[in-house]
Structure 1
């Protein structure tokens, strides 16, 4: 677990994504773009600065700063909530969508190489157990 955490803190997967984009993106902006993409897939949930703070496990003031940077960089935009027009929500711009696509491709290629010699059953079992582990982490954080 420590080795996994160290690799994640070095953001070894983020750097190839950054190199593959037409518009430069910093690591914090990429994290925000990933979180907005993740939140956009959850029906009925507004993606706000608070959502970003929760997803990235950072305090709301830091989340506000890095969201502002991502907006200024053109990767996300603020829009009015459909539930409450006074509330500001976040969504990807076309440039942000390009960054998400590049990130997905890079991760799929990387994990395809890492798991390439695993048979299909091992890959499915690993995915099942990893998903279970992540859900348990989420429950421990909120429980």
Structure 2
């Protein structure tokens, strides 16, 4: 069977996505044994933006409010999230990482970065920069 660049790319992306899901599960479980990758993603997003309304998080991830609500409840029960009234709209709620959540997310993100660094130790900076540029270009094309 003859394959071309598009078929090779599709195959490699499939492998990357499978491995990425496995790494995400491992990373989430390193934060807490009950944590699913989707809930870990919420923690990462809050670490990136500081605080957010639940509706904004649901829109960002493309998930329904009931799904988000279940994940938020778990994260609150585990002590990783805090709720506060939105100062711009008293009817709305803002979610932020608790000190424990912040500590756990930072530790998990650092460990994940270190694993990536270790795996790419033999790569030169130009190759890493090229891959990052190509991935950014690809990601921008699928929005």
Asked if these proteins are the same fold (TM beyond 0.5), I'd say yes
TM-score range, shorter chain: 0.7 to 0.9
Instruction: Specify the structure having the higher radius of gyration (Cα).
Output: 2
2:13 counterpart of 1:4: no
Q: Distance in 2 between matches of 1:132 and 1:103?
A: 27
Q: How does 1:70-81 map to 2 (within 5 A)?
A: 70-81=75-86
2:143 counterpart of 1:134: no
Q: Distance in 1 between matches of 2:27 and 2:94?
A: 29
Structure 1 residue 25, shift from structure 2 partner:
5.1
Deviations 1:101-128 (A, max 9, x none): 1122122111102221111111112122
8 Å Cα contact 2:28/2:35 also seen in 1: no
Q: For 2:91, what is the secondary structure of its paired residue?
A: coil
Structure 1 residue 62, shift from structure 2 partner:
0.4
Q: Which has the higher strand share?
A: 2
2:113 counterpart of 1:102: no
Alignment CA distance shift 1:8-1:51 (3 Å) = farther
Structure 1 residue 75, shift from structure 2 partner:
0.2
Q: Give ranges in structure 1 of 5+ residues lacking alignment.
A: 41-45, 139-143
> Which residue matches 1:29?
39
Q: Distance in 2 between matches of 1:136 and 1:119?
A: 26
Q: Give ranges in structure 2 of 5+ residues lacking alignment.
A: 1-12
> Which residue matches 2:88?
83
Scaled by the length of structure 1, the TM-score of the pair is 0.78
> Which residue matches 2:48?
38
2:126 counterpart of 1:121: yes
8 Å Cα contact 1:79/1:90 also seen in 2: yes
8 Å Cα contact 1:33/1:99 also seen in 2: no
Q: For 2:79, what is the secondary structure of its paired residue?
A: coil
Q: Distance in 2 between matches of 1:2 and 1:132?
A: 18
Q: Distance in 2 between matches of 1:71 and 1:17?
A: 15
Aligned length: 130
